[in-house]
């Protein structure tokens, strides 16, 4: 059955909540109106398996008998972060040093959202890189799955190598082409 293109709408808003375990969440349009269903498959087509609550999002929607649904993600920007959300591990580090670190390709080893951390491995290197839940949130992500491809800015912290920024692989590849 073909999509009725006349009912497709371009929407900008923010993620109200998203639960990767349930496989869906909702977006609130900047223009108001009903909550918009965001299914994990639509998010995966964008290259992510999760998105942080409060993240700014640009989507294409379609109105159905059951309500408004996202059919395509155009862009995601991390939620605004205040000074209070800076991790203690980063407090003494120069922001320019963290931002200038190269993006490194990596895979998630494991991540436990309940514990608030996990580990990844940079391709070609054996040591683990620590991933903190707050870094994910600041990067616009909410959860990670084992084996998921990422691009990370990695720094040497007080407790070893840790991610200072995490991007979904597809987002990082797109940014690199710009």
Structural domain boundaries of the chain? 5-77, 83-177
The CA distance from 48 to 70, in Å, is 15
Whether 83-177 and 5-77 are alike in CATH topology: the answer is yes
> pLDDT category, 38, cuts 50, 70, 90?
very high
Residue with tokens 């963290």: 98
- Arithmetic mean of pLDDT, 81-99: 58
Dist CA 149 CA 28 (whole Å): 28
Which element (helix H / strand E) includes 60?
strand 56-64
pLDDT number for residue 168: 80
Q: Which of 5-19, 89-103, 112-126 is most confident?
A: 112-126
pLDDT value at 127 more than 50: yes
User: pLDDT tens, 56-79?
Assistant: 999 999 988 888 999 999 998 888
5-77, which class in CATH? mainly beta
Q: Is the CB of residue 111 less than 8 Å from the CB of residue 130?
A: no
Q: Which CATH number fits the domain 83-177, given the four candidates 3.40.640.10, 2.40.50.140, 3.40.50.1980, 2.30.110.10? A: 2.40.50.140
- Span 151-168, pLDDT tens digits: 998 888 777 889 988 888
Question: What token pair was written down for 23?
Answer: 């496989």
User: Per-residue pLDDT for 90 more than 50?
Assistant: yes
Whole-angstrom distance, CA of residue 168 vs CA of residue 174 = 10
pLDDT of residue 159: 75
């Amino acid at each position: 059955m073909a999509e009725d293109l006349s009912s497709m709408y371009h929407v900008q808003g923010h993620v109200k909540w998203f639960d990767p375990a349930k496989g869906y969440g909702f977006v609130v349009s900047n223009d108001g109106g009903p909550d918009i269903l965001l299914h994990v498959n639509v998010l995966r087509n964008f290259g992510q398996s999760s998105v942080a609550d409060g993240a700014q999002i640009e989507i294409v929607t379609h109105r159905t008998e059951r309500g408004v649904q996202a059919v395509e993600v155009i862009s995601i920007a991390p939620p605004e972060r205040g000074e209070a959300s800076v991790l203690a591990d980063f407090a003494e580090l120069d922001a320019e040093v963290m931002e200038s670190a190269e993006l490194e390709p990596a895979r998630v080893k494991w991540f436990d959202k309940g514990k608030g951390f996990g580990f990844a491995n940079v391709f070609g290197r054996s040591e683990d890189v620590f991933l903190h839940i707050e870094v994910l949130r600041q990067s616009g992500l909410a959860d990670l799955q084992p084996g998921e491809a990422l691009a990370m800015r990695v720094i040497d912290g007080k407790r070893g190598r840790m991610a200072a920024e995490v991007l979904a692989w597809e987002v990082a590849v797109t940014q690199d082409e710009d």
